[in-house]
Structure 1
Amino acid sequence: METEVKLSRNRTFILMFIAGVFAVVGFSMFLTTVSWYAVTEMDSAAAVGLVLMAATIPRLLMMVFGGVLADKYKKTTIMFITNLTQGFLLLLLYLFVASDNLTLTILLVLAGIFGMLDAFFGPASSSLIPKIVAKAQLQRANAVFQGADQISFIIGPILAGVLMEAYSVAGSFLIATILVFFSAIFIFPPLIKEAAVEERTQQSPMQDLKDGLQYVRRSQFLLVGLLVLITLNFFVFGALHIAIPLLVDVHGGSPLNLSFMEASLGIGMLLGSMILGVYTIKRRRGAMTLYGLLAALVLFIIFSLIPNLTGLTILIFFIGFSMVFVYIPFFTVAQENTDQHIMGRVMSIIFLAMNGFDPVSYGIVTGMVAFEIPIQLVLFGLGVVGLVIWFFIFFKAKQFREV
């Protein structure tokens, strides 16, 4: 571990940062473009939900095994292979769109493989951070990476919206493809020179997985934190992913409106990340996580009542801002207190909690909309249920609040 090197001079950290920016810009362009394509070209709210579910269900199933691999092999190798393969998938998607041969079946298959690959990238990248920076730098490193993600999520949707408006859907997919290939170049293992993986007992992947689950079960902080992440991502973040294109369509918006809303969410998260990158929080990070969740839920309920795109775009900024105060403090404490040899598996379980219930959220939202329940009413109901769960967590997890 590089204990004395500043983040700005940490070569491995900088290369990971650049690779992450390219990857997330490409990925966010993919999400924006595919959502708009499903809503407009396929003319179906259900198609949006199906595509997002296809991208997340295989990811969910493979996530825990992604953590097992991250503990057994070099994390940069996993990240490189993942990015390279995703680049080829995006190239295929571009060719199908450009030739007007993209069907819903092909789109679902490609989205499924794309999502499955992401299950290996996330645990590898998050478990590499504590390996390359000092423990005292973890919050700042996480905030910088979170900030990079949000800058990328701002750039990606805007770039996708401009390309779709000025050129075509195919053009947006092509640029996304190029950017993901660039990411693979910067994370090329010989450039990173990651330290060798620690030797440990050889055992089956299933036993590795059981060890990771038992490690999490013994930690009350991790268990409560996982419940917090599940609540945030099921009732707020997952619902927003599916709701944004539907709300833009309901209010008669354009691809640029879609881009503005997604960019506003990213800007809010970026600002929160910048604050946490400057001010290191060392006390009551569990309480901060809970209050961040409360703010996100209350703002989400208000969001469901806003009747126009301008108000929605403004309010989603504050939702993004509040969500960062859930993710970063929890991630930092988890990384600080988790043994390095099991870091990949623990981070994969955390990622599973963050994303595992997204497909259910997509299915509930699209299913209710298919039964002609207004999307605003669906969001309001989710927010209220999430708020009830928050009160239960808050009063039952006193020890978590003191961490």
Structure 2
Amino acid sequence: MRQESGKGTGTEADPTAAGTVGAPRAPEARAAQGTPAAPRPAHRDGNVLRWVGAYASSMIGDNIYYLALSWAAVSAGSPAQAGLVMAVSAVPRALLMLFGGVIADRFGPRRVVIVSDAARCAAVLAVAGALLATSPAVWLLAVLAVVFGTVDAVFMPAVGALPARITTRDQLARVQGMRGMAVRVAHVLGAPLGGLCVALGGAATAFGFAGLLFAASVPLLMAVRVRDLPGKAEGRASGAWGDLADGMRHIRRSRVLAPLLVLIALSDLGFVGPLNVGLTLLADQRGWGASGLGWILAGFGVGAGAASLTLTVWGRVPRAGLVLSLAGIAGSLAIAGLAHVPGVWYAVGMAGAVGLLAGLSGALCGALVQTESDPAYVGRVTSVSTFFSLGIAPLTFPVTGAAVDLWGTGPVFTVSAALSCLGGMYGLLRGPLRRAELPR
């Protein structure tokens, strides 16, 4: 299970904000006086819905790809070789993620996402064709994993930066909720569809279907309209390193972004290991089996989906900085509780609480990252937050597994929860972050 998370107020004028004094006017009167109509909520905005549809298609393809890759790797080599194939994509993702944000800001996030999905489509279709002609080779699968990791390093910051360019600032929390729902749908549908493809035609069929889903996202993305940056050019002449350093200075200067990214880093480093590796080991040690693990993951998915749905409908959470910090602390306590519950159904309920609280905190973090960043720097700021959650945190998986072997699940879950809790406590102690609000 690959967790995606992103745990800010900009200074630009909102081109779609409307404010009139006195009684409401008819549309004709508003048009005659040049006053724009009130913006449409994101969940009713066709432009946003096209982006969500493209993102969901890409994420379902992503889940099918990972299942097909793991199946092909197990079929082609030893368990150690299969593990290497699955892990090798993390290296380019971690090394290149920060420069992915530079690319997103320089060339525009929509263009980068379109090229990334087209590249992923071409890569998996090429491997699908090769597998139809011959048996899978470990080296070919490793090359595909490296290509995917490299493209992910560019794709993830760009897809995180895109919402700020397709909707108004007051709708960003709602868009983050919609994005979370797309991720949940992808997790629910991706694995069964991938398994069905493998059963019907092997890994080649699964890779081919994933490629078609990546291809389906491209025309939807091309139909998405993006707003120009207010008063700033997307490109700079200082080079990649200069742009990256400029983005880091922007983060340091912000009284909200700097502590927010520290909170995200601590939360993700404590969260990702137990939820991706620890749960499997916990279910095995407790004798709950694969079915028990499936129910626990389902509980987590239901909780996270409920948080996403709430934000999609509600649209805004008052005292966002305070709420995300408190939700992070409460979610950390629930992570610790997972290793100490007496039975599997208690674990399912606790996992639901983790999903609800972590989903709420993560979505609010993502919305604050968007609204507190200057529009010209959103890609770079997003790349820093994504760097910890999807670049560095997955590298802790072997450490989590080794620690569970040495000390058991209880101490490991407790220490991980304490690290995650430290992030929420840090957010409470930093006044500008604690008082941060989302735009109305």
In the superposition, the TM-score normalised over structure 2's length comes to 0.78
Distance 1:179 1:262, change over 3 A: farther
Shift of residue 236, structure 1, vs aligned partner? 1.5
Tell me if 1:210 matches 2:242. Answer: no
> What is aligned with 2:314?
279
Tell me if 1:192 matches 2:210. Answer: no
Shift of residue 283, structure 1, vs aligned partner? 3.1
- Matched AA of 2:392: F
Tell me if 1:135 matches 2:159. Answer: no
Contact 1:62 1:116 in 2 (8 A): yes
- Matched AA of 1:288: V
3-state secondary structure, aligned to 1:122? helix
Tell me if 1:265 matches 2:300. Answer: yes
Question: Number of paired residues?
Answer: 397
Aligned mates of 2:239, 2:104 — CA distance in 1: 14
3-state secondary structure, aligned to 1:357? helix
Distance 1:130 1:23, change over 3 A: same
Distance 1:101 1:268, change over 3 A: farther
3-state secondary structure, aligned to 1:102? coil
Contact 1:126 1:347 in 2 (8 A): yes
3-state secondary structure, aligned to 2:256? helix
- Matched AA of 1:12: N
Unpaired stretches in structure 1, ≥5 consecutive residues? none
Tell me if 1:84 matches 2:118. Answer: yes
Contact 1:160 1:259 in 2 (8 A): no
What per-residue deviation string (whole Å, max 9, x for no partner) do you get for residues 48-71 of structure 1?
A: 764453222211222121111111
Question: Please, which of 266, 269, 272 is the counterpart of residue 231 of structure 1?
Answer: 266
Shift of residue 275, structure 1, vs aligned partner? 0.9
- Matched AA of 1:192: V
Aligned mates of 2:412, 2:329 — CA distance in 1: 16
Distance 1:216 1:307, change over 3 A: same
Shift of residue 213, structure 1, vs aligned partner? 0.3
What per-residue deviation string (whole Å, max 9, x for no partner) do you get for residues 93-137 of structure 1?
A: 445666673344443332222122122222222222122211221
Distance 1:351 1:7, change over 3 A: same
Shift of residue 380, structure 1, vs aligned partner? 2.2
Distance 1:392 1:269, change over 3 A: closer
Shift of residue 356, structure 1, vs aligned partner? 2.9
Aligned mates of 2:414, 2:175 — CA distance in 1: 36
Question: Please, which of 38, 63, 72 is the counterpart of residue 28 of structure 1?
Answer: 63
What per-residue deviation string (whole Å, max 9, x for no partner) do you get for residues 169-227 of structure 1?
A: 5543333232122122322x3x3354556536522111111110011112232222212
What per-residue deviation string (whole Å, max 9, x for no partner) do you get for residues 32-91 of structure 1?
A: 4445666788664x6676445322221122212111111121322211110111122223
> What is aligned with 2:375?
340
Aligned mates of 1:322, 1:31 — CA distance in 2: 27
What per-residue deviation string (whole Å, max 9, x for no partner) do you get for residues 371-390 of structure 1?
A: x4476357425434425634
Tell me if 1:402 matches 2:439. Answer: no
3-state secondary structure, aligned to 1:202? coil
Note the aligned Cα RMSD (angstroms). Answer: 3.4
53-62 or 390-399, which deviates more: 390-399
Aligned mates of 2:268, 2:162 — CA distance in 1: 24
3-state secondary structure, aligned to 1:137? helix
> What is aligned with 2:419?
386
Aligned mates of 1:47, 1:257 — CA distance in 2: 28
Tell me if 1:58 matches 2:102. Answer: no
> What is aligned with 1:321?
356
- Matched AA of 1:402: R
Distance 1:380 1:35, change over 3 A: farther
- Matched AA of 1:279: W
- Matched AA of 1:76: R
Larger radius of gyration: 2
Aligned mates of 1:174, 1:281 — CA distance in 2: 40
In the superposition, the TM-score normalised over structure 1's length comes to 0.84
Tell me if 1:73 matches 2:107. Answer: yes
**Identity between Structure 1 and Structure 2 (%):** 22
Aligned mates of 2:42, 2:320 — CA distance in 1: 23
Aligned mates of 1:377, 1:47 — CA distance in 2: 30
Distance 1:226 1:361, change over 3 A: same
> What is aligned with 2:52?
17
Aligned mates of 2:262, 2:82 — CA distance in 1: 27
Distance 1:363 1:273, change over 3 A: same
- Matched AA of 1:397: R
Aligned mates of 2:120, 2:295 — CA distance in 1: 26
